[in-house]
Structure formats: structure tokens, C-alpha cells
């Protein structure tokens, strides 16, 4: 599968912790190449990316995703919608 990230998604992904090496490489490639930010994913990479997003999303006291983490929530949903 191939998904297209927004600038906000790419920025949030860059800030995420515990990224695997393949994703660090892909982030660098997408930044160097410019828009559109297309990310090719195999089944295992899709699962790993969705889990990474879930680990890095933070919520406020009401259970709402914090605004600065919304792009990761959107990316997680994009992966799941295209899986």
C-alpha cells in the first residue's frame, strides 16, 4: 500500500519517539523529495506505523486527543482505513 501524508503528519511523525530505522530513512526521503509525501508500506510496516502512532498519541483529562497529537491520530486512521 502507499499512503500520502500531510505536512502536519510528517512533522508529527518526525517528533514521535522510538521510530524504527526504516521509518527514519523514509522520513528523510520524504523531506528531501518534497510533496506529495508518499509512504509505501508493506503489511508489517503498516502494523508497526499504526502501533507507533498509538504509542505517541496523548490525551487530555477529558479523553480528547491533544491538538498537537491530532496528526498522529489522523495518520493512524489513514493506515487503518487503507490496510
Give the pLDDT band of residue 2 (cuts 50, 70, 90): very high
Q: Which residues contact 57 (CB under 8 A, 6 or more apart)?
A: 65, 69, 72, 73, 76
The pLDDT assigned to 21 comes to 96
What tens digit of pLDDT does each residue of 37-76 get? Answer: 999 999 999 999 999 999 999 999 999 999 999 999 999 9
- Cα torsion through 48, 52, 55, 56, rounded to 10: -170
Give the pLDDT band of residue 83 (cuts 50, 70, 90): confident
User: Above 90 in pLDDT, residue 16?
Assistant: yes
Instruction: Report pTM.
Output: 0.92
Amino acid at each position: 500500500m502507499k499512503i500520502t501524508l500531510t505536512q502536519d503528519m510528517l512533522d508529527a511523525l518526525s517528533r514521535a519517539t522510538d521510530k524504527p530505522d526504516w521509518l527514519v530513512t523514509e522520513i528523510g526521503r520524504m523531506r528531501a523529495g518534497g510533496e506529495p509525501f508518499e509512504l509505501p508500506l508493506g503489511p508489517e510496516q503498516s502494523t508497526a506505523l499504526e502501533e507507533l502512532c498509538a504509542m505517541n498519541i496523548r490525551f487530555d483529562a477529558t479523553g480528547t486527543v491533544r491538538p498537537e497529537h491530532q496528526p498522529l491520530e489522523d495518520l493512524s486512521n489513514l493506515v487503518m482505513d487503507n490496510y
